[in-house]
């Protein structure tokens, strides 16, 4: 029976769309002026049923949490020399499906005395040079290893001069300085407030240039020497505590790509940067990539208005390590995993609670002062530049690049549909980006937006490798159970307005409360219903409400869709609520209800977008439904008067002066 109902609904929806399209501006239908038949007592459908449970993302049992053990990420300490005892090594344990290091100890170039029951460490016999006739490690998955090195061969053989220049700059100058250009219109203000500088602004012409390092100040000037922004600088730096990649490098003992293959073309100006001691210069994991991730995630926490752009810049720096010929994709992918885990551990540390809150406040105060913005205009200003002046202005490009840089096109080598785990403490990474959600809800967001399982290195037991922070910043990707969102607009920022751009699936129910505005703009398919109790719930795509019933008992249900906002189920509106349609050309912003539409009063507010305005005397179709019962108490049209023309299947408006 369900299949038959679904089948019958499709031509019905098409008929609604066609009906709306056939009514031209300036036209009218006398028969529509006849009032619809109204029953003596309007029967109001019930609200969508409560699923009876709330989705959760519990911490995986019996797994030592990275956030509780981050201080073990040390080298030169016998207590933390193994995968089991070192959190920074353990979080990357998936690499052991690809490569078995010569020894399972943090011992490449490392000497450490015995501590209690932990034996002394002597330097490994690993030379850092593959196939040199000395003991090395063992390739366990030749297909992945070969693809890993061949990727670098292809990338460095085909890179452009612009890519080579960017790779050089990201190698030599401070990573914190590099990453701040992900701030877009805020970059200059950030650098000025932080007193951040670099000495590396040009690329040497050839490989004979003497190697030089950045004598700038990377993240800026912290502490009392910078009273307006020093707390922000100190916060960024503190997010790197216990974040070294050296323990992992010296445990996994995996050579850099140019040592695996002479076909890897290192950027000529970086040739002097090659270490003369390969045994202490492993490629896995990438230190630059991990540091860039740490800086980017910390900056995104401080300025969540640029969350996706700044973390995109962090991953771009990682890719530039490949283009430089210095690292492989697996080196870079693992740097992201370790970097975001380290930031989460430091954010979750109670000792940093006051500092992180102060840093967010100070960052906004200083940047608003620098840019002459207010809390109401700051977010818009931070996205006010075009692609000419802001390399990260294009959301679609950022999303595609972030996704590509997460897996670098590797084939999945493990189970492809394993449920996602969410690491303990990872929810703190979304604390400022989704401030109106609870910690439990943020964990569910991370679960529903996680990448698929099975990719090399990324299936760690805790779940750090599968986190997709870019997607998580766009809210839920699935509603399972009852999802209640309460937004207090008086708190400003994302409490006041937010946009969930993911494609939301699932059978759960969304309940919107509070005075804020929540926009839905994905290609949604969820089916458990939407109930609006307060504030504004806005459909910014034609499928914003998926396959759900929509029940408006308070607040404003708004359509700002590029076509007809389609309600696949029933639409019910009670008194003391508003339906707001933002009309444009064609069917932009209109409402199409494939089920029954019940109007028990309330307000209909018509606005206009994109320069569209009807003419006096036009009759415009705004609502089409399988069945429409009831009427609005009030109808207002911006700039015009209007006469409603109800029918049993829709509503038109005759526009007056």
Cβ–Cβ under 8 Å, residues 425 and 63: no
User: What pLDDT, in 10s, does the model give residues 232-250?
Assistant: 999 999 999 999 999 999 9
Q: For residues 481 and 448, what is the distance between their CA atoms, to the nearest angstrom?
A: 13
Q: Which pLDDT score, from 0 to 100, does residue 545 have? A: 98
| Cα dihedral across residues 100, 102, 105, 109: positive or negative | negative
DSSP letter assigned to residue 582: E
Structure tokens at 224: 């009392």
Residue 177: partners with Cβ closer than 8 Å, 6 or more residues away = 191, 196, 197, 198, 214, 216, 218, 219
pLDDT of the residue at 40? 55
Q: What is the largest CA-CA distance in the chain?
A: 95
Residue 62 has a pLDDT of: 84
pLDDT score, position 212 = 79
Using an 8 Å Cβ cutoff, are 443 and 425 in contact?
no
**Token pair listed for 223:** 């502490």
Structure tokens given for 576: 């003391």
Report d(CA 322, CA 312) in Å as an integer: 16
pLDDT given at position 23: 38
Each domain of the chain, given as residue ranges in start order, spans 2-52+479-656, 66-207+222-466
pTM of the predicted model, to two decimals?
A: 0.94
Q: In 209-328, where does DSSP find H-type helix?
A: 230-238, 246-252, 257-260, 287-302, 307-323
Tell me what pLDDT residue 216 has: 93
So what's the pLDDT on residue 6?
32
SS3 assignment, position 468:
coil
d(CA 176, CA 299) in angstroms, rounded, equals: 9
Half-sphere exposure for 48 (CA within 13 Å, toward CB): 30
Query: Which residues of the chain, if any, have pLDDT below 50?
Result: 1-39
| Strand 650-656 versus strand 641-647 pairing type | antiparallel
Q: Which of the listed CATH numbers 1.10.10.10, 1.20.144.10, 3.40.630.10, 3.30.1060.10 matches domain 66-207+222-466? A: 1.20.144.10
Q: Are strands 550-552 and 530-532 parallel, antiparallel or unpaired?
A: parallel
Residue keyed to tokens 């929806």: 13
Give the rounded distance of the alpha carbon of 200 from its chain centre. Answer: 31
Residue 610 buriedness (CB in 10 A; 0-12 / 13-18 / 19+): exposed
User: What is the structure's pLDDT at 177?
Assistant: 97
What pLDDT, on the 0 to 100 scale, is given for residue 60?
87
pLDDT at res. 5: 31
Q: Which tokens go with 138? A: 């063992």
Residue positions counted in the chain = 657
Cα 566 to Cα 15: distance, rounded to the nearest angstrom: 13
Write b or e for each residue in 179-198: b if 16 or more Cβ atoms lie within 10 A of its Cβ, otherwise e: bbbbbbbbbebbbebbbbbb
């Amino acid at each position: 029976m369900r299949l038959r109902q679904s089948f019958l609904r499709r031509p019905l929806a098409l008929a609604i769309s066609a009906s709306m399209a056939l009514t031209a501006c300036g036209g009218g239908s006398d028969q529509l002026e006849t009032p619809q038949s109204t029953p003596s007592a309007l029967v109001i459908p019930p609200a969508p049923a409560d699923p009876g449970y709330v989705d959760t993302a519990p911490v995986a049992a019996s797994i030592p949490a990275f956030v509780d053990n981050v201080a073990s990420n040390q080298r030169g300490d016998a207590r933390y020399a193994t995968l089991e005892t070192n959190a920074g090594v353990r979080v990357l344990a998936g690499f052991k499906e690809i490569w078995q290091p010569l020894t399972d100890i943090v011992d490449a170039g490392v000497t450490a005395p015995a501590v209690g029951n932990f034996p002394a460490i002597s330097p490994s016999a690993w030379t850092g040079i593959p196939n040199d006739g000395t003991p090395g490690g063992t390739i366990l998955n030749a297909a992945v290893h070969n693809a890993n090195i061949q990727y670098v061969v292809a990338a460095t053989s085909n890179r452009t001069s612009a890519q080579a220049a960017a790779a050089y700059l990201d190698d030599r100058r401070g990573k914190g300085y590099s990453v701040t250009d992900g701030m877009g219109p805020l970059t200059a203000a950030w650098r000025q407030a932080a007193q951040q500088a670099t000495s590396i602004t040009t690329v040497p012409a050839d490989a004979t240039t003497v190697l030089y390092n950045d004598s700038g100040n990377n993240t800026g000037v912290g502490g009392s020497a910078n009273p307006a922004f020093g707390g922000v600088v100190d916060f960024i730096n503190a997010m790197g505590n216990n974040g070294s990649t050296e323990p992992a490098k010296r445990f996994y003992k995996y050579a850099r790509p140019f040592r695996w293959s002479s076909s890897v073309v290192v950027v000529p100006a970086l040739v002097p940067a090659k270490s003369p001691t390969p045994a202490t210069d492993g490629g896995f994991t990438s230190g630059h990539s991990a540091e860039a991730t740490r800086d980017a995630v910390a900056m995104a926490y401080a300025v969540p208005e640029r969350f996706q752009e700044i973390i995109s810049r962090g991953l771009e720096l990682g890719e530039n390590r490949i283009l430089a010929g210095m690292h492989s994709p697996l080196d870079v992918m693992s740097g992201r995993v370790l970097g975001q885990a380290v930031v989460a551990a430091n954010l979750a540390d109670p000792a940093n609670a006051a500092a992180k809150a102060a840093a967010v406040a100070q960052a906004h105060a200083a940047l608003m002062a620098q840019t002459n913005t207010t809390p109401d205009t700051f977010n818009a200003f931070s996205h006010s530049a075009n692609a000419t002046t802001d390399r990260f202005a294009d959301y679609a490009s950022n999303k595609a690049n972030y996704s590509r840089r997460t897996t670098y096109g590797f084939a999945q080598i493990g189970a492809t549909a394993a449920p996602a785990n969410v690491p303990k403490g990872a929810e703190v990474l979304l604390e400022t980006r989704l401030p109106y959600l609870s910690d439990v809800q943020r964990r569910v967001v991370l679960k529903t937006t996680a990448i698929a399982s099975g990719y090399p290195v990324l299936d760690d037991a805790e779940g750090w490798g599968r986190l997709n922070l870019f997607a998580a910043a766009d809210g839920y990707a699935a509603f399972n159970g009852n999802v209640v969102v309460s937004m207090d607009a008086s708190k400003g920022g994302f409490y006041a307005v937010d946009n969930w751009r993911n494609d939301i699936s699932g059978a759960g129910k969304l309940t919107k409360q509070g005075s804020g505005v929540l926009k839905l703009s994905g290609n949604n398919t969820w089916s458990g219903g939407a109930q609006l109790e307060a504030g504004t719930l806005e459909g910014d795509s034609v499928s914003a409400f998926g396959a759900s019933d929509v029940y408006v008992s308070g607040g404003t249900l708004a359509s700002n869709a590029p076509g007809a906002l389609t309600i696949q189920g029933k639409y019910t509106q009670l008194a003391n609520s508003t339906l707001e349609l933002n009309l444009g050309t064609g069917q932009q912003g209109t409402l199409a209800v494939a089920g029954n539409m019940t109007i028990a009063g309330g307000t209909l507010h018509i606005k206009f977008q994109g320069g569209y305005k009807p003419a006096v005397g036009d009759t415009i179709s705004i609502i089409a439904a399988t069945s429409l019962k009831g009427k609005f108490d009030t109808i207002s049209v911006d700039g015009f008067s209007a006469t409603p023309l109800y029918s049993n299947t829709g509503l038109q408006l005759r526009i007056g002066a």
